[in-house]
A and B are shown apart, each in its own frame.
Chain A
Amino acid sequence: MSTTTTGRATEPAPAPAAAGSSPPRRRRPRRSVGDRVFGGVSQIVLALWALIVVIPLLWTVFSSFKSTRGILTSPFALPEHWNLDNFVRAWNQAGIGRYFFNTVLVVGSALVLVMVLGAMCAYVLARYEFPGRRVIYYALIAGLTFPLFLAVVPLFFILESMGLRGTYLGLILSYVGFALPFTVFFLYAFFRQLPEEIAEAAAIDGAGDFRTFFQVMLPMAGPGMASVTIFNFLGLWNQFLLPVVLNTDESKFVLAQGLANLQAQQGYRSDWAAMFASVTITILPVLVVYLIFQRQLQGGIGPSTNK
């Protein structure tokens, strides 16, 4: 991934600013003093930031194996023995296991639904001409700019009146609705780029609209679908305000909500060990997903990186 430019690699570069427009003095590439100083400083700055990122995470993971007393008395010591008591306590007593299951159910269903519906909607908007097409597109994009907390009060009562408040289905449909603008916005661009000839070829071969989409166009949008799926996964896994407002039944709590609730309860304030274990349980799956997909993620949010 550390692609460097393939430009004129042997270009002799003048020493930093002071050298001004003086002609190149030496042929043999050697690191100038300025380079070394700057390189050293850069390394220090980057390493420092990496430490700032990693230390709290390592502290959390190590602490999750220690006893609460151990955490409070010697915060930097490695765990004396690696026992899983805290994890068992977090998973069973603190309810992390149930929250985890709820999250997987809600996020998983919402993710599948929003990707399917978003892809269908983006496809129709991108590849068919019909009256009102542009209005629909902009109405969807506008949804990206409104703050979510403006909508939660009425949404609470809409779900109430439909009998969906406090149900998985209500939460899932709300997740789908609010993830739809982002999904359509990005997939629209992908479907727009696909070559026209292929759709024509499919039509000539007698494929109807449905088959053209599912067997020809959708597979071709694969890379776009992959990165949007990952971003939607992170976004939905992260969602907090919607469940806090709409999902008030404790047995249906999702992880983010359950953790915040645990933290607010005085009892778990004192059981740091279980709390750290809960946090570790929440972080690890996402970090693993990230490490597996980090190439797609990093490529997906900007213009192509292999210039």
Chain B
Amino acid sequence: MAAVPTSTTPGAAPARPRGARGALRRLTPARVLFFLIFLGVPLAIYVVFVVSPFLQAFYYSLTDWRGLSRAPQFIGLENYVTLFHDPVFLKALRNNLILLVTLPLITITLAFTLAVLVTVGGDSRGAIRGVPGATVYRVVSFFPYAIPAVVVGILFAFVYSPNGGLLNGLLQAVGLDVSIGWLGERRFAMAAIIAAVVWSLVGFYMVLFVAAIKSIPSEVVEAARIDGAGRLRLAVQVVLPMVRGNVSTAAVYMGIMALDMFVFVNVMTPTGGTGKSTEVVSRYLYETAFSESRFGLASAMGVVMALLTMAMAVLVLVISRGKDEA
């Protein structure tokens, strides 16, 4: 969506300047007012509430700021040094990186598989179609996306509860006598949180992929079939490359999500879990800032995660573009 000035429509007389896009030709008072209101008001809100906090965060990360009582002292990179010697921060960072790998991988694989089944998984003869009932599956799978993350967290805290929780209940119903506190045990807590996140997001990406797959020209899929491609090859070698753009967009979104995770972790394991087994940087940042008033240190954590997020996004986009050229 580059801002290239568009040429006039063919019918328009060449001598006449372009219409509204010619803009500032005549600066009438009415037009100045128009610009002030239409551009000025939204931008003022954006600058005050979004741009300036981000810029200030970078500055605070270089200070020892601990609240309003004392003016912040500039201490250079000391906060960053402190951070990388803090075992809890390193543990949290490690957990975020584990999430960064597992969460997109599981979600996208599952979402893509389901999307393929509902779009091209049906009969191999005749027109390409999904399995019967595809619409119902798609609508139902999307449900969890409409549920706020906090509620998903609370819901799954109940599901995983050691007493009367749904998961233990189901396991007992099939004959396994367990009463595990899934979120309380180091071994299971992170996996349990990942499962809840996957549950809530698969439907959204499935719908995204369904739309992308439907926009593939049917000739392409049919040609592959005539050439004898089985369903697995069709999905992996024909459909997947054609929706690669959507897959990498999904990977970036999921990556941003995995480097945040504040809501899920905060609701399901409010203190970062047993032995910090589910601690993530965003929750640790929140605690450092608003319980311990170490705002400078907390800002440094935010900056580290912001840089990591951007590096991740660039990496994913470069990899997917690199494949385009290959």
Q: Once the chains bind, are B154 and A260 in contact (CB under 8 Å)?
A: yes
Category for how many chain A residues contact B: 35 or more
The interface bits of chain A over 275-307 (1 if a CB of B lies within 8 angstroms of the residue's CB, else 0) are 110010011001101110010011101111101
Given contacts A155-B49, A275-B154, contact A53 B215 (CB under 8 A): no
Binding site for B on A (CB under 8 A): 1-17, 19-21, 29, 31-32, 34-35, 38-39, 42-43, 45-47, 49-50, 52-57, 59-60, 71-73, 75-76, 117-118, 120-121, 123-125, 127-130, 133-134, 136-137, 139-140, 143, 145-158, 160, 173-174, 176-178, 180-181, 184, 188-189, 192, 196-197, 199-200, 203, 208-210, 212-213, 234, 237-238, 240-241, 244-245, 255-257, 259-260, 263-264, 272, 275-276, 279, 282-283, 286-287, 289-291, 294, 297-299, 301-305, 307
A303: chain B residues at CB < 8 Å are 211-212, 215
Residue on B nearest A60 in the bound complex, by CB:
B155
The interface bits of chain B over 172-212 (1 if a CB of A lies within 8 angstroms of the residue's CB, else 0) are 01000000000000000000000000010011100110111
Does B322 have its Cβ within 8 Å of any Cβ on chain A? no
Does B169 have its Cβ within 8 Å of any Cβ on chain A? yes
B12: chain A residues at CB < 8 Å are 200
Taking the nearest CB of chain A, how far is it from the CB of B38, in angstroms?
4
Q: Once the chains bind, are A53 and B203 in contact (CB under 8 Å)?
A: yes
Given contacts A120-B37, A212-B20, contact A50 B302 (CB under 8 A): no
Q: Once the chains bind, are A180 and B37 in contact (CB under 8 Å)?
A: no
Main DSSP-derived SS at the A contact region: helix
Which of the 9-residue segments B78-86, B98-106, B115-123 touches chain A? B115-123
Given contacts A154-B60, A259-B151, A305-B211, contact A59 B166 (CB under 8 A): yes
Q: Once the chains bind, are B54 and A15 in contact (CB under 8 Å)?
A: no
Taking the nearest CB of chain B, how far is it from the CB of A119, in angstroms?
9
The interface bits of chain B over 12-27 (1 if a CB of A lies within 8 angstroms of the residue's CB, else 0) are 1000001111111000
Q: Once the chains bind, are B164 and A149 in contact (CB under 8 Å)?
A: no
Does B107 have its Cβ within 8 Å of any Cβ on chain A? no
Q: Once the chains bind, are A145 and B309 in contact (CB under 8 Å)?
A: yes
Taking the nearest CB of chain B, how far is it from the CB of A296, in angstroms?
12
| Complex CA distance for A101 and B244, rounded to whole angstroms | 43
| Complex CA distance for A257 and B266, rounded to whole angstroms | 11
- Which 3 pairs of residues, A with B, have the shortest CB-CB distance? A302-B211, A177-B49, A17-B230
The interface bits of chain B over 144-172 (1 if a CB of A lies within 8 angstroms of the residue's CB, else 0) are 11111111011111110001111001000
16 A-B pairs whose Cβ atoms sit less than 8 Å apart in the complex: A3-B214, A4-B128, A38-B121, A39-B121, A39-B131, A45-B117, A50-B140, A127-B21, A136-B39, A151-B50, A153-B302, A176-B49, A259-B150, A260-B153, A298-B207, A307-B215
Residue in A56, A208, A241, A305 whose CB lies within 8 Å of B166 = A56
Q: Once the chains bind, are A13 and B125 in contact (CB under 8 Å)?
A: yes
Q: Once the chains bind, are A6 and B290 in contact (CB under 8 Å)?
A: no
| Complex CA distance for A76 and B165, rounded to whole angstroms | 10
